[in-house]
Amino acid sequence: MTMDKIWVLVRQGILDTAYMTFPSTFFAYLLGLPLGVLLVISQKGHIRAMPTLNTVLGAVINFLRSIPFLILLVMLFPVTRVVMGTAIGTRSIIFPLVISAFPYVARMVEGSLKEVDPGLIEAAQSMGMSTFQIIRKVLLPEALPSLVNGAAICITTILAYTAMAGAAGGDGLGKIAITYGLNRREYGVMYAASIALVVMVQIIQILGNILTNALDHRKR
């Protein structure tokens, strides 16, 4: 296959991969961010301690995270069909990606928010802040660099998962690498698609690092 043709293929692969990755990340955060906040503030000794809820939530999240993505993808077929209209294709893979990623996002957010100095929360309480104000004015802004760093990791993880989209009739770089490499022995295409994946991951990670540093005012 000529370089031109490979490029046309890979370029479409990049677009398909991005099309699956970014909306999935967005919706995973829509669910995972509030859940991560809830995981932190419902802890014993935190601003809205609800130990039972915290334990249950933690267990559900662990359960969801322990299911391998490929199995979840298949298990979710009926639900995906209802939610997305169809269970196969590049667009419909977004749903299982979100379901698989949001517990991961919640844990990521939890980790970031836990780093916030308890002294700051105490100071916020002493100023007469409400729970919501503490979340909005203290927890989230203080954890912002760490949250951004976590988001970069989440995006790259979801991006890697999209490689399995082929199993549900989706496209993207992963699908291209597998079809051309494994089935047609067109190794040039396989390597090109794989390199494109690696480059995408690198770019996201580097941008994430730059943004994290720019947002961090804790250092001199």
Please report, for residues 59, 87, 119, the alpha-carbon distance to residue 165 in angstroms, rounded to integers and kept in the order given: 27, 11, 45
Site membership for other proteins, residue 45 (CB under 8 A): no
| Shortest spacing between CB 207 and other proteins, in angstroms | 20
Q: Least CB distance from residue 14 to other proteins, whole Å?
A: 34
In the complex, what is the shortest distance from the CB of residue 129 to other proteins, in angstroms, rounded to a whole number?
6
Nearer to other proteins, 202 or 213 (CB): 213
113 binds other proteins (CB under 8 A): no
Selected binder of other proteins within 2, 82, 119, 132 (CB under 8 A): 119
The residues, ordered by sequence, that sit 6+ positions from 213 with a Cβ below 8 Å of its Cβ are 145
Work out whether the CA dihedral 145, 151, 157, 159 comes out positive or negative. Answer: negative
Nearer to other proteins by C-beta: 34 or 141?
141
The structure tokens 């667009």 sit at 91
| Options 14-22, 56-64, 119-127, 184-192: segment touching other proteins (CB under 8 A) | 119-127
2 binds other proteins, rule: CB under 8 A: no
Tokens (6 digits) for 3 = 């370089």
Min CB(196)–other proteins separation in Å: 36
Q: In a 3-state reduction of DSSP, which class is residue 135? A: helix
Q: Which long-range contacts (CB under 8 A, 24 or more apart) does 40-48 make?
A: 40/109, 40/110, 40/113, 40/114, 40/139, 41/131, 41/135, 41/139, 46/121, 47/121, 47/125, 47/131, 47/134, 48/131
Is 44 near other proteins (CB under 8 A)? no
Q: How many CB atoms lie within 10 A of CB 111?
A: 16
Per-residue x/- marks for other proteins, 58-97, CB under 8 A?
----------------------------------------
Mapped onto helix, strand or coil, the DSSP state of residue 87 is: coil
DSSP 167: G
**Contacting residue, 8, 55, 59, 122, with other proteins by CB under 8 A:** 122
User: Encoding tokens for residue 33?
Assistant: 């961010």
Site size toward other proteins (CB under 8 A) is 24
Considering only residues 125-154, where is the footprint of other proteins by CB under 8 A? 125-130, 133, 137-138, 141-142, 144-145
Which residues of this chain interact with other proteins, rule CB under 8 A? 117, 119-120, 122-123, 125-130, 133, 137-138, 141-142, 144-145, 215-220
